[in-house]
Amino acid sequence: MTRQPNRTRMFHRDLRKSYPEAQEGQGAYILDTTGKQYLDASGGAAVSCLGHGHPKILEAVKAQLDRMAFAHTAFFTNSPAETLAETLSRKAPGGDWRVYFLSGGSEANETALKLARQIQRERGQDTRDHFLSRRFSYHGNTLGALSVSGSVGRRAAFEPILLPKVRHVEPCFAYRHQGEDETAKAYGERAAASLQTEVGALGDERAIAFIAETVVGATLGAVPPVPGYFKEIRRICDEHGMLMILDEVMSGMGRTGTLFACEQDGVVPDMISLAKGLGAGYQPIGAVLVREELADEIEHGSGSFLSGHTYIGHATACAGALAVQQVFEEDGLVARVADMGEKLQQALEARFADHPHIGDIRGRGLFRGVELVAAREHKTPFPATAGLAGRIKTHAMENGLICYPSQGTADGVNGDHVLIAPPFIITDDQVGELTDKLARSVDAAITEVE
Ligand code: PLP
pLDDT in tens, 123-166: 999 999 999 999 999 999 999 999 999 999 999 999 999 999 99
pLDDT in tens, 399-447: 999 999 999 999 999 999 999 999 999 999 999 999 999 999 999 999 9
**How many residues are present in the chain?**
450
Distance 274 CA to ligand 1 centre (A): 9
Distance 325 CA to ligand 1 centre (A): 20
Strands 271-274 and 243-247: parallel
Kindly state if the Cβ of 218 falls inside 6 Å of ligand 1. yes
Q: Which domains does the chain have, with CATH numbers?
A: 22-53+332-448 (3.90.1150.10), 56-331 (3.40.640.10)
pLDDT band at 353 (very low <50, low <70, confident <90, very high): confident
Distance CA 355, CA 44 (A): 26
pLDDT in tens, 329-351: 999 999 999 999 999 999 999 99
Residue 61 pLDDT > 80, yes or no?
yes
Shortest-distance Cα residue to atom 10 of ligand 1: 139
Kindly state if the Cβ of 133 falls inside 6 Å of ligand 1. no
Kindly state if the Cβ of 138 falls inside 6 Å of ligand 1. yes
pLDDT in tens, 157-176: 999 999 999 999 999 999 99
Instruction: List Cα–Cα distances, 188 to 2, 179, 193, 195, 379, in angstroms.
Output: 48, 11, 8, 12, 21
Other Cβ atoms less than 10 A from the Cβ of 119: the count is: 24
pLDDT in tens, 299-308: 999 999 999 9
What whole-number percentage of the chain has pLDDT above 70?
A: 99
Distance CA 200, CA 204 (A): 7
Phi-psi region at 227: left, alpha or beta (left = phi > 0; alpha = psi -120 to 50) = beta
Residue 81 pLDDT > 80, yes or no?
yes
Residue 1 pLDDT > 70, yes or no?
no
What are the beta bridge partners of residue 370?
A: 361, 418
Question: What is the ipTM, given to two decimal places?
Answer: 0.99
Q: Which atom of ligand 1 is nearest to the CA of 45?
A: 8
Kindly state if the Cβ of 216 falls inside 6 Å of ligand 1. no
Helix (H, G, I), strand (E, B), or coil: what is residue 20? Answer: strand
As a 3-state breakdown, the chain gives helix, strand, coil percent values, each rounded to 5, of: 40, 20, 40
Helix (H, G, I), strand (E, B), or coil: what is residue 316? Answer: helix
Q: What is the mean pLDDT of residues 62-79?
A: 98
Instruction: List Cα–Cα distances, 351 to 281, 373, 420, 432, 435, in angstroms.
Output: 30, 16, 15, 10, 7
| CB 29 within 8 Å of CB 234 | no
Distance 108 CA to ligand 1 centre (A): 9
Kindly state if the Cβ of 140 falls inside 6 Å of ligand 1. yes
